[in-house]
Structure formats: C-alpha cells, structure tokens
Amino acid sequence: MTVSNQRAAGRTVLVTGASAGIGKSTVERLLREGYTVYAAARRVENMRDLEDLGAVALRMDVTREEDLTAAVERITAEHGGVDVLVNNAGFGLFGAMEDISLDDARYQFEVNLFGLARLTQLVLPHMREQRAGRIVNVSSVAGKVYTPLGSWYHATKHALEGWSDCLRWELKRFGIDVVIVEPGLIRTEFGGIAFTPMAERSAGSPYAEIASKMTSRMDRSGSHGSPPTVIANAISKALRARRPKTRYVAGQYARPVLLARSLFTDRMFDWLADRMAG
C-alpha cells in the first residue's frame, strides 16, 4: 500500500456535483487512492460508472434541505460521518445584470454559496468531535477577477472566497482544514450551461449586441481548456498534504489571469475585459 493509500484508508469523502467534469474526475481519482467516496449530484443516472468503480451515488440537489440532511444521515449511519467534504457543485449564470431576474440571481447564490454552506454546517459536528477533517471548496479564478456579463456568477465566487477564509480561521482550532481550489479554464459543460442562454436572455434589451458578441466568442462546446483531471489532481494533493496550502490554483490561464489582476489597475483590467468582449 502506498503512502497515499495509507492516508486515505478509513477516510470517508463526500463530493458534490459528481455527475460530470471536475466532480466526476475527483471521485475517480479518490477511489483509486483508497478513499470511501460518496458521489452526490442531481443526475444520479450519470454516476453509474462511478458506482461500478466503487463509489456510492447519492441523488442530491444542494438547494434542498431534505437532500442534504438525508445524505449526511446515511453517511453517518454507514461510516460514522464525513471526514472530507469536497464542495464542487455549482454553475455559472451569465448575462447583463439588468437582464437577469433577482429570482435567478438568488438561485445562483443558493447553489454556489448557501447550499454548500448548509452542507458544511451538517458535516461539521462529526469533524469537530474527532478534531480532524478537511473541507475543499471549489471556487474559481472568477473569485479573484471579473469578466464581461458575469456579475452574478462572480459575486458568488467572490463571496465563496471570503466565506472560506473566515471559515478556515474559525475551524483551525478544531483541527479542521479549509482549502480553496481555484480552477482556470477547464474542459467541462460549464460553457454551454453558462453562455448558451445569454443572448436569448438579452434579446431586445440594450445589452443585446454585447451579449451576442460574448456568446459567439465563448467556447460553449467545452473543447478548450485543461482536462478536469488537473483539478482532481489538485484536490488530491490538498488531501494528501499534512499541512495543506490555503489555496491551490490550477488549469489553463489560471496563473496568468491572477498575475494580471495583481499587476493591473482597475482601468487596465477593464481594458482587458473590453478585449475579451470583442
């Protein structure tokens, strides 16, 4: 047994958003390393392959209290509790701020922040009792920068960054680590979900032209970027480390974008956003 497998033995992991992309790749990686893995997502039918590999698939909508409670209760009954939580579920809502209803904006926050916060609350009693645990929050470089027509999505990721920083300070006294993972451009379904409805949402509005340009420029096929395994590897590294870093940055353009934001003034970064928008 490798050192990695020795550390994984006996540890139970819950991964949300596990039906595709980063979540699915993370489950596959952690199973190979010897963790007991519960894979949670709304589309449980898309996780049959993970079940074949040894994962336990859970149907979970992170905005539904009953789904979150049922999942944690089952894991507690079967393995004592969640030792590692990977908060990966999320989606991007793009479009002009004025064109997006507040109901849609609230749902963006429910998925990307409040849902994962409630799930975190549910797993913490077990972690505090054993004075050990690790929480990995999959954020984005979007939590540090901004892009055209991304106000609500960026707002959730900026909020997740600050929430995670505060949580890290609160939980360190209980032996619980909080880690933020900041992906760059990754080959997932994100583009199609985030950008395809944008032009339709802004049709006839003052932002129709820019929305149409952005829609045509963005990769909606998911064919560009780093493979999701890059982020799965970063998550694995964070779990294997005895003293993990507070942040792991990985994926295409991630480091250059963050470097540009640190060096550019706001007006300079606005200029870069203009170039992105065409």
Given this model, what pLDDT does residue 192 score?
62
Given this model, what pLDDT does residue 219 score?
57
Q: How far apart are CA 92 and CA 143, in angstroms?
A: 12
| Domain range annotation of the chain | 3-189+225-277
- The yes-or-no answer on residue 151 being catalytic is no
**Exactly one of 140, 157, 236, 248 is catalytic; which is it?**
157
Note whether 174 and 131 are within 8 A (CB): yes
The whole-number average pLDDT for the span 241-263 is: 97
Note whether 11 and 84 are within 8 A (CB): yes
Given this model, what pLDDT does residue 197 score?
81
- The yes-or-no answer on residue 164 being catalytic is no
The whole-number average pLDDT for the span 148-156 is: 96
- Please determine, for residue 199, whether its predicted confidence score (pLDDT) is greater than 50: yes
The whole-number average pLDDT for the span 256-261 is: 96
The whole-number average pLDDT for the span 237-261 is: 97
- Please determine, for residue 64, whether its predicted confidence score (pLDDT) is greater than 80: yes
- Please determine, for residue 3, whether its predicted confidence score (pLDDT) is greater than 90: no
- The yes-or-no answer on residue 24 being catalytic is no
The whole-number average pLDDT for the span 229-250 is: 98
**Exactly one of 35, 38, 146, 153 is catalytic; which is it?**
153
Q: For residue 229, with 0-12 CB atoms within 10 Å meaning exposed, 13-18 middle and 19 or more buried, which class applies? A: middle
pLDDT digits (tens, 9 = 90+) for 81-128: 999 999 999 999 999 999 999 999 999 999 999 999 999 999 999 999
Rg (CA), the chain: 19
- The yes-or-no answer on residue 139 being catalytic is yes
Which of residues 118 and 187 earns the better pLDDT score?
Answer: 118
User: 3-189+225-277 in CATH: which number?
Assistant: 3.40.50.720
Pairing of strands 36-41, 133-138: unpaired
Helix axis angle for 266-277 and 254-263, nearest 10°, is 140
Q: Which two tokens stand for residue 77?
A: 């009954």
3-state secondary structure of 10: coil
- pLDDT level of residue 221 (50, 70, 90 thresholds): very low
The whole-number average pLDDT for the span 12-40 is: 98
Task: Report percent pLDDT > 70 for the chain.
Answer: 93
**Exactly one of 24, 25, 139, 236 is catalytic; which is it?**
139
Given this model, what pLDDT does residue 217 score?
73
Given this model, what pLDDT does residue 8 score?
77
Reference 13, options 66, 87, 73, 63; nearest CA is: 87
Whole-model pTM: value is: 0.93
CB atoms within 10 A of CB 100: 19
